Structure 1
Amino acid sequence: MRTTVLAALIAISFSAGVLAKSPEAAPKIPSFVSAAVADPARKDDAANDDRRKIAQLMAFSEVKPGQKVLELIPGSGYFTRVFSAVVGPTGHVFVVWPNEYAKESESDVAASNALSKDAHYANVSVATQPANQLSAPEKVDLVFTSQNYHDYPDKFMGKVDPAVLNKQVFDALKPGGLFVIVDHVAEAGSGMRDTDTLHRIDPAIVKKQVEAAGFKYEGESSVLRNPADPHNIKVFDKSIRGHTDQFVYRFRKPAG
């Protein structure tokens, strides 16, 4: 009897351990996201979709047809093209380039402007504005930024206080709107130490800063996490570039 009981306890313990370590459930991908990702107009982006987890990120961001999205510092326009297809003709994508960043990325700004003039992306508009004066023409449902939150406190951006940025994002959103941040992970406890050198930021300081602006933290997606990243090298290092450990946080502006 004792042997049977012991075996049962071991089995229960093992099962509990398996459950505790089970992987995060894959987010359900809405059909409109799948259709946007499959848009033939972005066929050149498709080779990067699996690595960049575009469908999962769109699902986590909860973007929907008809919504208004503010995409902050869109880089090559990889996310812009999908946001445009998701929100559709009744929605809009406001692409925002801070003046200070635009000076460092003229070719990407030119590409954003060209995209907005393409009839296929008629729901995209582009604005440049001072880094410390973020605004939108109307209240939006989602503010999204990938790999650029860490830039704001740096010298080339005018050392914008994250509290200023987060307050302006809060004001740009509708009640209940979302703020989604994707960025490169720095060493735990490093705060903003590595933003200008390694182009990384400690996720804990981001969560603290955004919550201080009045947002409610809703959770994290682990689709871009990479435990093999040592967190102490530049994100451009050839050993890790394109495969850095990245956090994806979602925050909500309270509805009332």
Structure 2
Amino acid sequence: MLKTGLIALSLALAVPAQAALDWDAALSGEHRSEKNAARDEYRHPRETLEFFGLREGMTVVELSPGGGWYTEVLAPLMADNGRYYAAHGSVNGGAYARRSLGSYLVKLGEDDDTYGRVMVSELSPPNAMAIAPEGSADLVLAFRNIHTWMRAGVLDEVLESVFAALKPGGVFGVVQHRGPEGNSIDDMKNTAYVTEDYVISAVEAAGFTLADRSEVNANPKDTADYENGVWTLPPSLTLGDEDRERYLAIGESDRMTLKFTKPAAE
């Protein structure tokens, strides 16, 4: 009995306990810009990440983090408490990709205390191994990017990369502007409003299983029928002052929130 207890104690000492996720520090810390924090009412970061199953000790990959809105939340949550890969664009992906990646790296470099442990990887289809080591990720996240990959003709390759990076049983979390059923492929590409059936079909074709869906990011005020697509609404407001108050009253887009899993190994 004593020997068994000593073995258990030695194992406990060998594997440090993971601290609980500090949501207050992540969401209310001084590192967050006021502009980004103001969007929490539309993006629901804690509720969304908890729905996807985020917990301490995970290896998490965010695809195409852009300017780093979710990086402000995920980096402090996972620092010393897991691993966070930000799979940004290629440095050789053209002028836009270079500007976006450059701005993101400046953001990280200006606050090493917050972002020093962020692992910047590359989303570069068809290089499936670039986003994270094969079979290493517990959770991969895609926030409002499906339409972009559709336009670029690389959605299948991106999904292959996600499947390769995830552990068996791992989760792929998708948030995407939701369009009305019946939208054509061209409509989806041009407006960014993708149908839920299309997303589910594409992801399941890549080998995933739909595990759950949530309405946490739904917005019933969004009619999704604007000539300029989703960019008509905040935060883009591409029409400027034209009907500005109307679009501000609608708020950000209606979004699907889908949780997929990679089948567990048999």
TM-score (norm. length: structure 2): 0.75
Structure 1, unaligned runs of 5 or more: 1-29
Task: Tell me which residue corresponds to 2:30.
Answer: 40
- CA positional deviation for 1:78: 1.1
Task: Tell me which residue corresponds to 1:133.
Answer: 127
Q: 2:79 corresponds to which letter in structure 1?
A: G
Task: Tell me which residue corresponds to 1:205.
Answer: 198
Task: Tell me which residue corresponds to 1:252.
Answer: 261
1:223 aligns with 2:216: yes
- CA positional deviation for 1:173: 0.4
1:243 aligns with 2:255: no
Q: 2:142 corresponds to which letter in structure 1?
A: T
SS of the residue corresponding to residue 78 of structure 1 reads coil
Q: 1:120 corresponds to which letter in structure 2?
A: T
How far apart are the structure 2 equivalents of 1:56 and 1:129? 26
- CA positional deviation for 1:230: 1.7
- CA positional deviation for 1:35: 4.1
Task: Tell me which residue corresponds to 1:86.
Answer: 77
Task: Tell me which residue corresponds to 1:21.
Answer: none
How far apart are the structure 1 equivalents of 2:177 and 2:137? 25
Deviation string, structure 1 residues 10-54 (Cα, Å, up to 9, x no partner): xxxxxxxxxxxxxxxxxxxx8633442233322533222223211
- Equivalence map 1:1-256=2 (5 Å): 32-44=22-34, 45-99=36-90, 103-104=95-96, 106-117=98-109, 118-134=112-128, 135-138=130-133, 139-154=136-151, 157=152, 159-160=153-154, 162-190=155-183, 192-233=185-226, 234-237=229-232, 238=237, 240=247, 243-256=252-265
Deviation string, structure 1 residues 35-83 (Cα, Å, up to 9, x no partner): 4223332253322222321111121121122221111111221111211
SS of the residue corresponding to residue 221 of structure 2 reads coil
Structure 2, unaligned runs of 5 or more: 1-19, 238-245
Runs (4+) off by over 6 Å: none
Shift in alpha-carbon separation, 1:148–1:240, aligned structure 2, 3 A:
farther
- CA positional deviation for 1:127: 2.9
SS of the residue corresponding to residue 32 of structure 2 reads helix
RMSD (CA atoms):
2.3
Deviates more, 1:37-46 or 1:61-70: 37-46
How far apart are the structure 2 equivalents of 1:185 and 1:193? 15
Shift in alpha-carbon separation, 1:77–1:101, aligned structure 2, 3 A:
farther
Q: 2:23 corresponds to which letter in structure 1?
A: V
How far apart are the structure 1 equivalents of 2:94 and 2:259? 26
Q: Alignment identity in percent?
A: 27
Conserved 8 A contact 1:182-1:246: yes
Conserved 8 A contact 1:72-1:143: yes
Shift in alpha-carbon separation, 1:90–1:224, aligned structure 2, 3 A:
closer
Q: 2:164 corresponds to which letter in structure 1?
A: D
SS of the residue corresponding to residue 142 of structure 2 reads strand
TM-score (norm. length: structure 1): 0.78
